[in-house]
Structure 1
Amino acid sequence: MTRVIEFRQFYKRHGDFALSNLNFHVEAGYITGLIGPNGSGKTTIIRSIMNAIRPDRGEVLVFGQSYRTHERDIKRKIGFVYDEDFFYNHLSIREMKLIVASFYPTWNEDAFRRYLDEFGLPERKKIRDLSKGMRTKFALAAALAHDPELLVMDEPTSGLDPVFRQELLSVLSDYIRDGTKSVLFSTHICADLERIADYIVYIGRGELRFSGTKEELFDRYAIVKGPVELLRDELPFVGLRQTRHGFEGLLDRERIGTEALDPALLMERPTLDDIVVFTREGT
């Protein structure tokens, strides 16, 4: 498979925090979710992909190319949607669009207007008068209008209502439908990724915890529940919660066979939230 993004021995330090020797890649033609607790390094990874942050050691390749020699070519093929607002608030949607469009030779005005209509965005409205959801819709319309090969999104659904979150996921599904486009979607709302992501990259405390398909991640772990009298020290829990009445924990399937579990225990498929919460509690 083609690698649209590749981190090679990536190391970056900020004060007491460091992203340590990251090695992973993002497959072309799919939606990849970037997950991890707040402060785990997700935004640093996103900014490194956009060349806003450069590593102390190692490198980031995008489309198989390095920013050292192909920055303009790389950035013209990326659409990005940040959680932060980078638009000029005193301008209207139409005026801001003229600035954005000037950077992209592949800008498609018909596509942009189609997204304005689909998202219900009035082009005469000032950026400062848009709600958070409308600003995100405008950012997405501007990102998609130049037909990028890669869409990079940093917390795009944060603070948005469920209706628009579902609408956004539908747009992303349509975007990758022909198999030539890719999405990297960073979010702490794991439920969104459970519905749409093909691959997951999980970062915890500056280290790579997992990189692979979503199903591979779910197959690796199990939620185990039961009464406290069945709790055994030899069970390889990644994270555990215990009360007087029972326990619930995340079990690493790679370290124990299911046949070794007491049949009285309840085993369930974890959610992405379960995996993030329990692995964080267990560290």
Structure 2
Amino acid sequence: MDNILSISHLCKKYKDFTLDDISFQIPRGVICGLIGENGAGKTTTISALLNMVTPDSGNIQVLGMDHVESEREIKQKLGIVLDEVNQVPHLYCKDIDTIMKKIYQDWDSELFFQYLEKFQLPKEKKIKELSKGMNVKLNFAIALSHQAEFLILDEATSGLDPVMRDEILKLLQDFIMDEKHSVLLSTHITSDLDKVADYIVFMHEGKIQFMRSKEEIENHYGVLQCRKDFFEALSPDDYCAYIQEDFSIKVLVSHKQELLEHFQDLVIERASIEDIMLFYIKGVITCQD
């Protein structure tokens, strides 16, 4: 399978944080969710692949090219929306077109103004007058108007209302429909990933704790609430993590269908992406992915 991004053994050490041997791949034609608590290493990973920070070791291939040697060529094909990145405040929205057509070889002015209209961004309005949500929409209009193959979004939807977020998620799904484009979506809003992600990469304290396809999560993982005696009767191979509560134990099971075949009256709830995060951060982990 053709990977649009390949990160191998990426390491970056700071005084109080270490990005520790990060490896994962993103195929073409998918939306990959990158999740983790604040300080987990998500933004450092994205900054490294954009060549904004220099790793201590490791290899990054974007669009099949080395992310440093071919940086200029790669960035022509990237659409990037980062949290808290605003355009020049004294410019008007329409001025962005003049600037970007000098930066991107495949800049599409007509498409850009279509997005301004779609996102209800007045082209005669100054950027300093835009709200945070409107700034985010402007950044999306830029990212989607130069024939990008790979969208990299770091907390990009956090400033949007639920209606606009749904609209953006639909755009992302349309973006990958031809199976040649992909999206890396780093977000705290895990419910968005429940709707659109094909793969989930979960980072915690600078390491990857969990990498799975959304299909695998839905088919194999679940949340079981049980008494201590039932939990002790389970095989360690049946679950990945557990959380001890006052009167019961909450368990993240990894083979829910097999358990349901053995215990027909068992109630195993769907495991959301947020559930998985909580188990791996607050629970006792019994397996490593």
Using the size of structure 2 for normalisation, the TM-score is 0.89
Please state if 1:209 is matched with 2:209: yes
Partner of 2:242: 239
Partner of 2:153: 153
1:259 to partner: Cα distance: 6.4
> Which of 252, 255, 273 is the equivalent residue of 1:253?
255
Amino acid at match of 1:133: G
Using the size of structure 1 for normalisation, the TM-score is 0.91
Aligned-partner Cα distance in 1 for 2:280–2:119: 38
1:19-30 to 2 correspondences below 5 Å: 19-30=19-30
Aligned-partner Cα distance in 2 for 1:233–1:55: 46
Consecutive unaligned residues of structure 2, counting only runs of 5 or more, are 285-289
What SS is found at the alignment partner of 2:91? coil
Partner of 1:120: 120
Which is worse superposed, 174-183 or 135-144?
174-183
Aligned-partner Cα distance in 2 for 1:205–1:198: 23
Which is worse superposed, 41-50 or 260-269?
260-269
1:128-139 to 2 correspondences below 5 Å: 128-139=128-139
1:231 to partner: Cα distance: 4.2
Question: Are the aligned partners of 2:90 and 2:128 in contact in 1 as well (CA < 8 Å)?
Answer: yes
Aligned-partner Cα distance in 2 for 1:170–1:130: 23
1:232 to partner: Cα distance: 2.5
Question: Are the aligned partners of 1:228 and 1:242 in contact in 2 as well (CA < 8 Å)?
Answer: no
Aligned-partner Cα distance in 2 for 1:227–1:100: 60
What SS is found at the alignment partner of 2:24? strand
Partner of 2:59: 59
Q: CA deviation digits over 1:12-56, x for unaligned, max 9? A: 112221111112111111111111122111111111121111210
Measured at CA, do residues 259 and 174 of structure 1 come closer, stay the same or move farther in structure 2, by a change above 3 Å? closer
Amino acid at match of 1:251: V
Partner of 1:32: 32
Aligned-partner Cα distance in 2 for 1:228–1:90: 63
Percent identity over paired residues = 37
Question: Are the aligned partners of 1:48 and 1:54 in contact in 2 as well (CA < 8 Å)?
Answer: yes
Partner of 1:17: 17
Partner of 2:170: 170
Partner of 2:101: 101
Partner of 1:282: 283
Aligned-partner Cα distance in 1 for 2:57–2:153: 25
Question: Are the aligned partners of 2:4 and 2:62 in contact in 1 as well (CA < 8 Å)?
Answer: yes
What SS is found at the alignment partner of 1:250? strand
Partner of 2:75: 75
Question: Are the aligned partners of 2:223 and 2:269 in contact in 1 as well (CA < 8 Å)?
Answer: yes
1:268 to partner: Cα distance: 1.6
Consecutive unaligned residues of structure 1, counting only runs of 5 or more, are none
Cα RMSD (Å)? 2.2
* Residues matched between the structures, number: 281
Amino acid at match of 1:250: L
Question: Are the aligned partners of 2:33 and 2:199 in contact in 1 as well (CA < 8 Å)?
Answer: yes
Measured at CA, do residues 233 and 51 of structure 1 come closer, stay the same or move farther in structure 2, by a change above 3 Å? farther
Amino acid at match of 2:269: E
Measured at CA, do residues 149 and 161 of structure 1 come closer, stay the same or move farther in structure 2, by a change above 3 Å? same
